[in-house]
């Protein structure tokens, strides 16, 4: 029996994530943790003076959903202004809650394949980990040591 949820796009982003690596020159980074699952990522972004996300990467461990979701997010937001990334994060988080239009979902590109998570309550935290971490980073705008705070909050 073929798997219904773990499709090729998701597994490819999990096994060969384009953006999972150490990154030089990041000016914001934050750890995001799901203590109950053991998902643990550090997201790093390089945001230029004009507020555009020039580059991004993540490191860490976690299930395929958390890892692929984060990789797909970075695919989508690299090269975009902060405000646009925040708008897309809002769409993604609404999609996971099941309240999004088809047009909005299309804007998420590959990340739109995670819409079924809205029917998998146990996996919601995995799917939103990278997105929440990014939101938190970009909304304070405080660079670097937010990592500790994120960790403490999660525990």
Partner 1 sequence: MTNEDREIRAHFPILSDEKLVYLDNSATSQRPQAVLDAVEEFYRTVNSNPMRGLYNISIRATEQYEEAREAVADFIGAAEPAEIVFTRNATESLNLVAYSYGEAFIHEGDEIIVSIAEHHSNLLPWQILAKKTGAVLTYFECREDGEFSLDEFKKLLSEKTALVAMTQMSNVFGRLNDVKAFAAEAHRVGAVFVCDGAQSAPHVPVNVIDLDVDFFAFSGHKMYAPMGIGVLYGKKELLEKMPPFLYGGEMIEYVQKYSATYAEVPHKFEAGTVNAGGAVGLLAALKFMKGIGWETIERREEELTAYAYERMLSVPRVKVLGAADASDHHGILTFTIEGVHPHDVAAIMDEHGVCIRAGHHCAQPLHKHLGIMSTSRASLGFYNTHEDIDAFIAALSGMRKEMGYPD
Binding mask 11-40 for partner 1 (x = CB under 8 A): xx-xx--------------------xxx--
Q: How far is the CB of 80 from partner 1 (least distance, A)?
A: 28
Among 89, 123, 131, 134, binds partner 1 (CB under 8 A): 123
Look-up of token digits 């945001």: 47
Residue from 27, 109, 126, 130 touching partner 1 (CB under 8 A): that is 126
Strand 28-34 to 53-61 pairing: unpaired
User: In angstroms, rounded to a whole number, what is the distance separating the alpha carbons of residues 3 and 59?
Assistant: 27
- Residue (38 or 79) nearer to partner 1, CB: 38
39-47 and 53-61 as β-strands: parallel, antiparallel, unpaired?
A: antiparallel
- Give me 7's structure tokens: 């499709």
Sign of CA dihedral 139, 16, 94, 120: negative
Q: Which residues bind partner 1 (CB under 8 A)?
A: 1-6, 8, 11-12, 14-15, 36-38, 61-65, 120, 122-123, 126
């Amino acid at each position: 029996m073929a798997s219904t949820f773990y499709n090729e796009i998701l597994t490819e982003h999990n096994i060969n994530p384009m953006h999972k690596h150490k990154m030089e020159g990041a000016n914001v980074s934050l750890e995001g943790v799901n203590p109950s699952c053991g998902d643990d990522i550090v997201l790093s972004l390089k945001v230029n003076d004009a507020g555009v996300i020039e580059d991004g990467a993540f490191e860490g461990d976690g299930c395929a959903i958390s890892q692929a979701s984060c990789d797909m997010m970075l695919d989508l937001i690299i090269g975009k202004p902060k405000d646009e990334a925040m708008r897309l994060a809002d769409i993604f988080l609404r999609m996971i809650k099941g309240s999004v239009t088809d047009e909005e979902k299309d804007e998420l590109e590959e990340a739109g394949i995670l819409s079924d998570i809205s029917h998998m309550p146990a996996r919601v935290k995995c799917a939103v980990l990278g997105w929440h971490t990014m939101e938190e980073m970009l909304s304070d705008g405080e660079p670097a040591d937010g990592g500790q705070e994120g960790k403490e909050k999660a525990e």
